[in-house]
């Protein structure tokens, strides 16, 4: 019912109120009340408190609701992306530990180079196709989570394993896709939302890495 109709109804009730009569005090009636007589029917009449009806929410409230909806949607996208890439970050941390352990046991530069080459081929064969299907946002989050799991930015990891020249090449490629291998992880600052989701995953046991 629109505002105009509400106003007409209120005016009509006010006009009808002129027909009000005081109810007669009877044996069991000690409180006088007002009534309306409409078509011979006696109806209890009582004034209600004024109600203000607003057709539309104010502009500031509409904008607030839009921002809240946008923030919820952004968080849900972030949560989905973290769930997608977190397993790869855990794997990266474990694989890097294994590589460091083996490299420390090898004395020959040739043996170390051969081991890294074989390990790289093995990882490419297992994960390259999956990682190529990640979105840009998922790639950005993965770089952050690898830094979280390993304690090192991806740039440092690549430099240690493949040398500074290759690290710069990889960094250049990453920048083309709006990523940065030098990114670190700040669990209480810029990456607090990611950390909250990671804690959720770990506490609920949604992910378990199997070698």
Q: Which of 90, 189, 208 minimizes the C-alpha distance to 148?
A: 90
pLDDT at 164: 93
| Residue the block writes with tokens 């690549």 | 158
Q: Which residues contact 116 (CB under 8 A, 6 or more apart)?
A: 99, 103, 161, 162
Residue 71 pairs with which residues in a beta bridge?
Answer: none
pLDDT at 27: 53
Residue 26 pairs with which residues in a beta bridge?
Answer: 29
Helices (H), 30-135: 59-105, 109-132
pLDDT in tens, 95-128: 889 988 898 888 888 998 888 888 888 888 878 7
The answer to which of 43-52, 64-73, 202-211 has the lowest mean pLDDT is: 202-211
pLDDT at 24: 47
What gap in Å lies between CA 43 and CA 167, rounded to an integer? 87
Average pLDDT over residues 84-103: 91
pLDDT in tens, 123-174: 888 787 888 889 999 999 999 999 999 999 999 999 988 899 999 999 999 9
Q: Which residue has the higher pLDDT, 26 or 60?
A: 60
pTM: 0.68
| Kind plus residue range of the DSSP H or E element containing 42 | strand 41-45
pLDDT in tens, 20-42: 444 444 555 556 667 777 777 77
CB neighbourhood size of 146 (10 A) = 25
């Amino acid at each position: 019912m629109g505002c105009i109709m509400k106003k007409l109804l209120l005016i009509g009730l006010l006009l009808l109120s002129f027909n009000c009569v005081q109810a007669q005090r009877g044996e069991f009636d000690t409180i006088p009340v007002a009534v309306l007589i409409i078509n011979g029917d006696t109806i209890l009449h009582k004034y209600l408190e004024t109600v203000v009806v607003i057709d539309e929410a104010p502009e500031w409230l509409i904008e607030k609701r839009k921002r809240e909806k946008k923030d919820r949607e952004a968080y849900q996208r972030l949560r989905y992306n973290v769930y997608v890439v977190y397993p790869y970050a855990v794997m990266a941390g474990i694989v890097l530990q294994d590589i460091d352990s083996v490299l420390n046991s090898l004395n020959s530069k040739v043996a170390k180079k051969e081991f890294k080459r074989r390990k790289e081929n093995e990882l490419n064969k297992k994960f390259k196709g999956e990682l190529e299907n990640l979105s840009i946002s998922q790639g950005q989050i993965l770089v952050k989570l690898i830094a979280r799991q390993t304690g090192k930015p991806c740039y440092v990891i690549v430099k240690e394993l493949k040398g500074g020249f290759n690290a710069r090449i990889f960094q250049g490629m990453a920048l083309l896709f709006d990523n940065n291998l030098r990114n670190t992880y700040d669990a209480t600052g810029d990456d607090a939302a990611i950390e909250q989701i990671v804690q959720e995953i770990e506490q609920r046991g949604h992910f378990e890495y199997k070698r």
